[in-house]
Structure 1
Amino acid sequence: MPASITLSKISWATPDGRPLFSDLDLSFGTDRSGLVGRNGVGKTTLLKLVCGDIKPQSGAISVNGSLGILRQSVQVAPDETVADLFGVADALAVLRRAEDGEATADELSSADWTLEARMAAALHRTGLDAEPQTPLAALSGGQRTRAGLAALVFTEPDFLLLDEPTNNLDRDGREAVIALISGWRAGAIIVSHDRELLESMDAIVELTSLGATRYGGSWSHYRQRKALELAAAEHDLADAEKRMAEVASKAQATVERQAHRDSTGRKMAAKGGIPRIMLGGMKERSETTGGDNARLAERRRAQALDEAKAAREKIEILQPLSVTLPPTGLPASKTVLKLDGVTAGYRPGEPVIRDLSFDVTGPERIAVTGGNGSGKTTLLSLITGELEPWAGMIGVMTGFAMLDQKVSLLDPSASIRDNFRRINRQADENTCRAALARFMFRADAALQAVSTLSGGQLLRAGLACVLGSAPPPLLILDEPTNHLDIDSIAAVEAGLRAYDGALLVVSHDETFLESIGIGRRLELSGGDPAG
């Protein structure tokens, strides 16, 4: 029987009672499906349901085949090694004893002499150069992700279940993982906002508040279909609003005609030309007709309202976010940032950045790139003053804002609204609410405590607070798209394209960098900057 995953009539709600899925039907075969949708819609929850981490409140899930699961973060014990992650530490120990002539006859007969070669091949497919005995704690977060994916590939499962597999990877790591998944010939369900990765999918499955929809083909094909759906939904809304106006107009005309007939009857009665018994019958028929007309008009009005509401809800899901920013007024010739001969690090004699010089003039857009550990975050810490240089000079000649991966700019104990008012003290309540609404924090959503937000919501809140009212002339962003859903990334891209200040961006997302119009690159390589 072919490998398959089937979800039938699945319902599930969050612990606070918010429904995520209701009677959800969805199936996956041996193809690669990209799972997309806005933050909080239930993508990670769907993976947890499939792999059995949580149970549906109703419905059934059928899994025919083996699963290989990669979660967003790979947790490790201090003494855990790459071999432990692969689950082969004991088998490797047998090989070591065999090499030393200490293995028993039973161990020699069961030894897996191809094990090391197959491990090396799996690690090579993710672009990771690591030995089986390498401690996982010695690897960066991105390297641990690659090791975890290699361990999954090693087991040759029927389905890969991957949650944001390219998050926190450097460019080389992203390319290796994308190449691996592009060549994967079994089933896969991949939660991702990485448009390069999604371009290699066989299908895109979109989760919305209305349910799940499968689109055959790659990311580009999905976006074309969505554009057509949006145009159709806008046409349906226009038709529904036209019908509402027609229903209201006809109801008003009916009321006016009935009022005219009643008026005519009253005038004739006043002249004494109609017997009293006939007057009673006319009055009764008038009241009956008026009641029937009112009920018919109300039914038509309710139907038109329902059609318009459904059309608006569909547009709400289909319509991309829109972000507009106030101008910064940064002059084109102004020196914004200058570094001259900067050397810095954390341990004496081991500089992370060595003799770095560069400057930013006017509204330049610069991408800071390089592999994991090359000094990108160190450079941002130097610019913002969190780290002092060992040598050289750093000058920041204008106001700036820094948004790091942890969004430490925000106070976790305060609401999004209160954080906005603290950061933008000149903004009044209307400005605050309008700015937050542009980033999808409308009404009570703006009153959520920052500590309760998901990763994507947290970064979106940080962007709203920094960009929403009076953007600074220099904006520094550290991996701004890591936890955003694709619609939010598109909104941020639109906003940054409209931003007229200087941009310094650390990102491995080439699609994002291209979209925001990066004009220059500063490539770091762990002490030897270039670019």
Structure 2
Amino acid sequence: MPASITLSHLSCSAPDGRSLLSDLDLSFGPERTGLVGRNGIGKTTLLRLITGALQPHSGHVTVHGNLGILHQNVQADPDGTIASLFGAVDALALLRRAEIGDASAEELAHADWTLEARMGSALAKVGLDAPPDTVLSKLSGGQNTRARLAALVFSEPDFLLLDEPTNNLDRDGRDAVLGLLAGWRGGAIVVSHDRELLDTMDAIVELTSLGARRYGGNWSRYRERKALELAAARRDLADAEKRVADVDRKAQETAEKKARKDGAGKRKRAKGDMPLILMNGQKNRSEETGASNARLAERRRVQAHEEAASARERIEVLQPFSVVLPPTHLPAGRTVLAIDGASASYEPKQPILRDLSLAIVGPERVAVTGPNGSGKTTLLALITGQLQPRTGSVKVMTEFALFDQQVSLLDPSLSIRDNFRRINPEANENACRAALARFMFRADAALQPVSTLSGGQLLRAGLACVLGGPKPPAFLILDEPTNHLDIDSIEAVEAGLRAYDGALLIVSHDEAFLEAIGITRRWDLAETGLT
């Protein structure tokens, strides 16, 4: 039987009782499927249901074939090695004993003499050159991801389940993942916000609060379809709101007509020129007709409002939040950053950056690129004053905000609202709530403690508190800002940064993001030069 995954009437709720997935019917075959949706919608939950790590509240999952799984944020075993990822520790130990003539004949009969070559080939496919006995704790986050990908493919599964496989990978690592999936002929379900990766998919499945929907084709084709759906939803909302207005107007006209008729009847009864029994009969008929009309009008009013609410909900699902920024009024000729012959290191005899010179003038947008370990984080620490230069000078000549990957500018013990008021003391409560609402922290959502937020929510909260204030800083420094955002959030942040009139310095491996925000220069630390 061909490899397949089938979900039938699948439902699952979060621990707090919130429904994540409801009555899903999906099937996956031997194709590459991108799984997308907003943070918290249930993408990782769906993968856990498929693997059996989580049991559904109703429905069932049927899997034909072997699964290979790459989880997000797996902590490396401090004593583990690359060989342990491959499940090859004992087999490699046998080969070592055989090499020195210390293996028995029975053991030699079970030796896998091609093992090392096949492991090396798998590692090469993901661009990792490291011996099998390399300790995992010595690898960077990106190198760990590559090693786990290599071990995954080495196990020859029928289906790959990948949860954000390009997070924390440098350009070479991302290219390795793209190449691996480009040559993959089995089934694959890839949870990702990496649009470059999603453009290589054969299909896109989107999870929303309304359920799941499959789109044939890659990410670009999916976005075209979504744009058409959004336009249709806006037309439906306009029609629904017109029906609401028509129903309310007709109800008002009917009520006014009845009031006039009742008034005329009262005046006739007051004159006493009609028999009492006839007057009472007319009054009863009028009341019955009025009650019937009122019930009909109420049914029409409720139906019209429900249709409008449904149309609004559809638009909220299709349309991401928007970001509108106040201007910084940064002059075009003002120098905001000047680095002159700076060198930096954490150990005196182990320099990381040498003789760097860089200036950012006016609203320039500079991307810092380079492979993992080339010194990008060290550079940001140097610019923000967390690290002092060994030689040369570093001067920041305007107000700035740093968005590191932990969003440490926020106090985790405070709510989002209280962080906003702390960072923007001149903003009143109305301005605070309006700014947070633009970043989708409405009503009680603004009162969530920062310590309880997911990675994507954390960055969104940081952006809201800094960019949503009355006067954003004229210089923004961002360290891998898209790592934990869903695609709708990324595109909203892109829209906001395109409108931002200050200077930007951004560390990112996300080429689609850098292109969308209009990078004007690149600084490649591997080449230590400007382009």
Q: Do they superpose with TM above 0.5?
A: yes
Residues 400-445 of structure 1, C-alpha deviations (whole Å, 9 max, x = no match): 1101011111111110111111111121111111111111111110
> Aligned pair 1:340/2:314, yes or no?
no
Worse-matched range after superposition: 229-238 or 76-85: 76-85
Worse-matched range after superposition: 57-66 or 471-480: 57-66
Per-residue deviation, 1:259? 3.0
Q: Which residue of 1 aligns with 2:185?
A: 185
Q: Which residue of 2 aligns with 1:510?
A: 511
CA distance in 2, matches of 1:421, 1:260: 55
> Aligned pair 1:476/2:477, yes or no?
yes
Q: TM-score, normalising length from structure 1?
A: 0.97
Per-residue deviation, 1:273? 4.0
Q: Which residue of 1 aligns with 2:292?
A: 292
Per-residue deviation, 1:42? 1.1
CA distance in 1, matches of 2:260, 2:325: 56
Residues 8-65 of structure 1, C-alpha deviations (whole Å, 9 max, x = no match): 2222222122221222222211211111111111111111111122211222111111
Worse-matched range after superposition: 448-457 or 116-125: 116-125
Q: Which residue of 2 aligns with 1:364?
A: 364
CA distance in 2, matches of 1:157, 1:66: 5
1:60 maps to a residue whose letter is H
8 Å CA contact 1:340, 1:394 repeated in 2: yes
SS at match of 1:347: coil
8 Å CA contact 1:353, 1:529 repeated in 2: no
8 Å CA contact 2:11, 2:24 repeated in 1: yes
> Aligned pair 1:144/2:161, yes or no?
no
2:476 maps to a residue whose letter is L
8 Å CA contact 2:477, 2:506 repeated in 1: yes
> Aligned pair 1:350/2:350, yes or no?
yes
SS at match of 1:338: strand
Q: Which residue of 2 aligns with 1:433?
A: 433
Per-residue deviation, 1:493? 0.4
CA distance in 2, matches of 1:233, 1:204: 20
Per-residue deviation, 1:395? 0.8
2:247 maps to a residue whose letter is V
Residue correspondence of structure 1 range 99-498 to structure 2 within 5 A: 99-469=99-469, 470-498=471-499
8 Å CA contact 1:74, 1:144 repeated in 2: no
Per-residue deviation, 1:272? 4.1
Per-residue deviation, 1:258? 2.7
Residues 433-481 of structure 1, C-alpha deviations (whole Å, 9 max, x = no match): 1111111111110100011001111111111112111211111000000
For structure 1, the 5+ residue unaligned runs are none
8 Å CA contact 1:321, 1:490 repeated in 2: no
CA distance in 2, matches of 1:264, 1:75: 82
Residues 165-206 of structure 1, C-alpha deviations (whole Å, 9 max, x = no match): 000000111111111112211111111000000000111111
Worse-matched range after superposition: 411-420 or 253-262: 253-262
Worse-matched range after superposition: 294-303 or 278-287: 278-287
SS at match of 1:166: coil
SS at match of 1:75: coil
CA distance in 2, matches of 1:338, 1:197: 36
Q: Figure out how many residues of one structure are paired with residues of the other and give that number.
A: 530
1:336 maps to a residue whose letter is V
SS at match of 2:472: coil
CA distance in 2, matches of 1:264, 1:334: 78
Residue correspondence of structure 1 range 6-21 to structure 2 within 5 A: 6-21=6-21
SS at match of 2:34: strand
2:355 maps to a residue whose letter is D
RMSD across aligned positions (CA): 1.3
8 Å CA contact 1:403, 1:477 repeated in 2: yes
1:406 maps to a residue whose letter is Q
SS at match of 2:352: strand
8 Å CA contact 1:354, 1:529 repeated in 2: no
Residues 364-397 of structure 1, C-alpha deviations (whole Å, 9 max, x = no match): 1000000000000000000000011111111111
1:281 maps to a residue whose letter is G
1:351 maps to a residue whose letter is P
SS at match of 2:316: helix
8 Å CA contact 2:521, 2:530 repeated in 1: no
Per-residue deviation, 1:323? 0.6
8 Å CA contact 1:206, 1:213 repeated in 2: yes
8 Å CA contact 1:405, 1:479 repeated in 2: yes
1:500 maps to a residue whose letter is D
CA distance in 2, matches of 1:54, 1:213: 22
8 Å CA contact 1:323, 1:491 repeated in 2: yes
Q: TM-score, normalising length from structure 2?
A: 0.97
Q: Which residue of 1 aligns with 2:501?
A: 500
Per-residue deviation, 1:73? 2.0
Q: Which residue of 2 aligns with 1:4?
A: 4
8 Å CA contact 2:326, 2:472 repeated in 1: yes
Per-residue deviation, 1:295? 0.3
8 Å CA contact 2:340, 2:394 repeated in 1: yes
Per-residue deviation, 1:254? 2.2
Worse-matched range after superposition: 40-49 or 20-29: 20-29
Worse-matched range after superposition: 297-306 or 276-285: 276-285
CA distance in 2, matches of 1:315, 1:71: 32
CA distance in 2, matches of 1:80, 1:421: 46
Residues 54-86 of structure 1, C-alpha deviations (whole Å, 9 max, x = no match): 211222111111111111123222221111111
Residue correspondence of structure 1 range 15-164 to structure 2 within 5 A: 15-164=15-164
Q: Which residue of 2 aligns with 1:519?
A: 520
CA distance in 1, matches of 2:192, 2:39: 11
Per-residue deviation, 1:524? 0.5
SS at match of 2:214: strand
Per-residue deviation, 1:529? 5.1
8 Å CA contact 1:524, 1:530 repeated in 2: no
For structure 2, the 5+ residue unaligned runs are none
Per-residue deviation, 1:269? 3.8
CA distance in 1, matches of 2:119, 2:253: 80
CA distance in 1, matches of 2:313, 2:239: 15
Per-residue deviation, 1:270? 4.1
